[in-house]
Amino acid sequence: MKSTEIPSIVLLKANEWLSGNYDDNTKEDVYRLINNEDSTELIDAFYRDLEFGTGGLRGIMGVGTNRMNIYTVGAATQGLCNYLRIAFASLNGIGVAIGYDCRNNSRLFAETAAGIFSANDMKVYLFEDLRPTPELSFVIRELGLQSGIIITASHNPKEYNGYKAYWDDGSQIVEPHDFNIINEVLKVKVDDINFNGPKENITILGAETDEKFLQKVVSVSLSPEVIQRQKDLKIVYTPIHGTGVKLIPMALSKMGFINVIHVPEQDIVSGDFPTVISPNPEEPAALKLAIEKAVEVDADIVMASDPDADRLGIAIKNDKGEFILVNGNQTVLIFLYYIITKRKQLGLLNGLEYIVKTIVTTELAAKIALENGVEYYDCFTGFKYIAEVIRENEGIKEYIGGGEESFGFMPADFVRDKDAVSSCALMAEIAAWAKDNGRTLFQLLQDIYLTYGFSKEKMKYVVRKGKTGAEEIEQMMVNFRNNPPKQLAGSELSVIKDYETLTEKNLISGEEKRINQKITSNVLQFFTLDGSKVSVRPSGTEPKIKFYIEVTDLLPTRDQYDAVEAKTNLKIEQVMIDLGL
């Protein structure tokens, strides 16, 4: 693209960076982009401002207003400082914690933010090295701080980094604070940012904090005597080059497991993620090396955490001795089944316990809870909404577990975000418990289906890029609202839930009622008479519209598992056809 085709707004913003209060290296990079014969990179770097959304920042690293760099991180931090002073005006001082993951520039962005918080007369607690996201959530609560940030882009490709903000309960920020912070960030100019606060305001967190966190992690155990009997359980674990490399093996050791087998190539901390295309435990390729190691050593379970160690993926042996990946819904079921079953055995259910799941997560989780006298809550996608339910029930009811289909689980409320450290520790205990009872984890999963019914889930997404793509996605939602399907896979629709209007309509009785949520969301759900569920929503961070499909059946006997699974797979295919996918 020739320079004459560069939008005027791009040249205006680029020239502001050349003349403004930016460092020389940044200006050199901007010059390079301007003088490049191909202006694609220049346009992408400056055509818009990287948005500080309700989840913080996330973007490709580099110079420009649409990139993750010290100036976009600086504006986000200064805006957060401005709002913290408003929200906590009655306090004598404000404290914040800062964590970061293995990504390139994560340490730089963390130190940049620390300097800005310090310059705003805030007490800063900065981790000495990379640490899991759940430990950042924990330390906010442990030290009684008002906020915190973690520098991470979760499982995004290596070119990305991100910035997530947390509130005083250790949860990611929700309304009204999220929008108030966004408004403050939008006001910040580069000249408003002081990057160099006094070092005396910054305290470094290290091993002592790790020890306190790990003591809490070990407290999730419900069967310590089982671990003693099965302490040599063969566990293959991989951090996929990320922050779980230190603390998750330490947590497993403190739980009592002595046979944790590493994947050496993936213990190497690297923001380039050299052994994988995507550091995402949802992707089979990310667990390939770990499964190869598991086959080599005849392991009982494979576990993986993503770069910031808040999500986990597992692989288990099926009845043919082959390692298979367990999806996020199945992982939630295994956790909840174990927690509720063990608490029942131990006499730890008194009617005040509850679990939380997101609306797109399997309905079987709710069935397990209800049939055991445990209350359940549905919430929107994201652990900040699970944390909000906990906050509202604080001191009234007892949270015993919650999760979502995208490979996240939170076993206890000392962390208020998804937690792969505690989850890996507890999942290892579940594998030991199953083995102690003469079962594999696969057989335990079958037991869940035998008792509560079979469910099969699939997430399908449609990508539509650019402005026209966004308009097409919006029109697809309009079409589904105005012309919902009459049936799915031969079963008549029975209920439609529209979270944009918070309306639930029973198509059989004609009854309408309000959905019990405090805010709206652009999500549609279709339920059928035979128990199938389809959730439709546009992605909040990518040019996608997502379809979450769940179909149900009965599993009469264990040896019919393959046949029932094949039957439900065909049913999912038919649902997709009926949806026009």
Query: Which residues does the annotation mark as catalytic?
Result: 154
Q: What token pair was written down for 319?
A: 């009845």
Name the CA dihedral angle for 128, 132, 138, 144, rounded to a multiple of 10 degrees. 40
The CA radius of gyration of the chain, in Å to the nearest whole number, is 24
The count of C-alpha atoms lying within 13 angstroms of the C-alpha of 117, restricted to the half-sphere facing its C-beta, is 29
List CB contacts of 444: < 8 A, sequence separation 6 or more: 334, 337, 338, 430, 434
E strand or H helix at 226, and its extent? helix 224-229
Spatial distance between the Cα atoms of 276 and 240, rounded to a whole number of angstroms: 8
Going from the C-alpha of 48 to that of each of 13, 64, 67, 270, the distances in angstroms are 9, 9, 9, 30
The closest alpha carbon to 270, from 291, 245, 249, belongs to: 245
Instruction: Identify the burial level of 92 via C-beta atoms within 10 angstroms of its C-beta, where 0-12 means exposed, 13-18 middle and 19 or more buried.
Output: exposed
Widest CA span in the chain: 74
Instruction: Report how far residue 5's alpha carbon sits from residue 296's, in angstroms, rounded to the nearest whole number.
Output: 57
Token pair, residue 299, equals 């392991």
CA distance 22 to 9: 19
With a CB cutoff of 8 Å and minimum separation 6, the contacts of 215 are: none
- Cα dihedral 563, 564, 566, 568, rounded to 10, equals 160
Query: 528 has which bridge partners?
Result: 493
State which H helix or E strand residue 358 sits in.
strand 353-358
Contact status, residue 315 vs residue 302, Cβ threshold 8 Å? yes
Sign, CA torsion 17/23/29/31? positive
Q: Answer yes or no: are the C-beta atoms of 181 and 80 closer than 8 Å.
A: yes
Say how far apart CA 408 and CA 310 lie, in whole Å. 7
